A = this chain, B = another copy of it.
Amino acid sequence: MLEYRFDDLSPEDLHRERDVYGDLTQRTRTLIDAVLRTEVDVAEAQEVAAQLDALSERLLAKAREGSYGVAIGSDGTVRNYGNAVVGVRNPVAPPLEVQRSEEGRAWADFRLGAQYEGPPGLVHGGVTALILDQICGEAAAAGGKPGMTGTLTMRYRRGTPLGDLRAEAWIDRTEGVKTFVIGRMADEQGETTVECEGIFILPRWARKPVEEISESKPLRFE
């Protein structure tokens, strides 16, 4: 069963959640890049490692048990801040700022650095799948057809260079509980590097909670 967390955070708590922890997360992304590319000597690397341990300990002095999950505020705001693609509190997420339109379209412009590499100089093919899975799911949800991925088919046309990229997806058609979404990734010149088709299905066990939430308050993704 999907467990959503309902809370009633004050404006101050919401600010801390998004801006303060979001800023901490962004600095951690910078650190990730530095750790991957550094060539400092052994003593310096070991000293930095020890200091990282101390900082982790400080942060864990007061911390949530388990994963972030998805939180829904009293105003209907959905916070999936732990999400591996869009989570503003997740240092492994680029993160994508996804734009949506009601006819079932979603897109994002973003930059992928060294930590998303597969073949030399290129984005890992699986990272393009990770991002397109999210964008296709967001397109389905934007069109009023939220669901989980049933199948996802990726077609790799050429290598995707690290750097500035765009991902976009749109609902192609629906058949009963299935929503067919088409997506693509493009490089800085707008050339398509990867295409995909995803089928999104709202599993039976998830239908009731989503209906209940949507009926009680309009959901707002931020």
* Residues of A that sit less than 8 Å from B by CB: 2-5, 16, 20-21, 23-25, 27-28, 30-42, 44-46, 48-49, 51-53, 55-70, 82-85, 87, 89-92, 113-121, 124-127, 129-134, 137, 148-156, 159, 162
Copies assembled = 2
Q: Take A2-B119, A120-B3 as given contacts and tell me if A56 and B34 are in contact as well, using a CB distance cutoff of 8 Å.
A: yes
Residues of chain B lying within 8 A (CB to CB) of residue A114: 66-68, 82
Residues of chain B lying within 8 A (CB to CB) of residue A28: 31-32, 35, 52
Residues of chain B lying within 8 A (CB to CB) of residue A41: 62
A106 to B74, CA, bound (A): 47
Residues of chain B lying within 8 A (CB to CB) of residue A58: 40, 44, 48
Q: Take A48-B58, A84-B118 as given contacts and tell me if A89 and B36 are in contact as well, using a CB distance cutoff of 8 Å.
A: yes
Q: Is the CB of A45 within 8 A of B67?
A: no
A52 to B35, CA, bound (A): 11
Taking a contact as CB atoms closer than 8 A, the residue among B44, B52, B61, B159 that contacts A40 in the complex is B61
Q: Take A69-B121, A120-B67, A121-B67 as given contacts and tell me if A149 and B153 are in contact as well, using a CB distance cutoff of 8 Å.
A: no
